[in-house]
Structure 1
Amino acid sequence: MKKLKNEQQLLKLALKVGENYAVNRGYAEFSPTAHAKEKVECIYRLLVADGLIQPLPEDKEDAQSLRHRLAVWVMNKLPADHALLQ
């Protein structure tokens, strides 16, 4: 797995977009005290269940891989001239 340029910022954006998507799908908002790890896993599982991203093999589902998958997902949704892609 190759580290993306601006991966940390892409992950922050993915969490924000993913939270909005989850709320629009009818899920309750995340509590302010929810850890980022919990948010990442929840959003990942929701996107997989909805067929928006391909699931990782079960033996490869670690925290780093889930964060990377979400960063790639949001990166593919951004316009080509977005600042995080430069």
Structure 2
Amino acid sequence: MKHQKHEAQLLKLAMEIGVGYAKKRGFADFGKGISPKDKVECIYRLLVTDKLIQPLAKDKEDGPNMKHKLILWISRQLPEDHELLN
């Protein structure tokens, strides 16, 4: 797994955009009681269901790999000269 320079910021941005996407799809907002791990999994599964990202192999579906997939997804959505990609 290749690591990005600004992984934490990219993951935060992916989660913000992912939550916005989920809301547009009709999902309720995540409550304060939902853990970050569960939010990552929910956004990951929504993007897989909508075929916006490739699913992980069943034996690779864990928190770090799901986060990495979200980071890759958002990295591909940003323009090449975006500050988080440098």
Tell me whether the two structures share a fold, i.e. TM-score over 0.5: yes
Structure 2 unaligned blocks of 5 or more: none
Q: Show the counterpart of 1:80.
A: 80
The CA distance in 1 between the partners of 2:69 and 2:5, in whole Å, is: 14
* Cα deviation, residue 3, structure 1: 1.4
* Superposition map of 1:6-21 within 5 A: 6-21=6-21
CA RMSD of aligned residues (A): 0.7
1:21-42 per-position Cα deviation (integer Å, ceiling 9, x unaligned)? 0000000000123211010000
Which stretches of structure 1, 4 residues or longer, exceed 2 Å deviation after superposition? Answer: none
Give the share of equivalent positions with the same residue, in percent.
55
Q: In 1, distance between residues paired with 2:5 and 2:16? A: 19
The letter for the 1-side match of 2:15 is L
Q: Distance in 1 between matches of 2:80 and 2:4?
A: 15
Q: How does 1:1-86 map to 2 (within 5 A)?
A: 1-86=1-86
Could you give the per-residue CA deviations for residues 34-75 of structure 1, whole angstroms, max 9, x where no partner exists?
211010000000000000000000000111000000001001
Partner amino acid, structure 1, of 2:7 = E
Aligned residues: 86
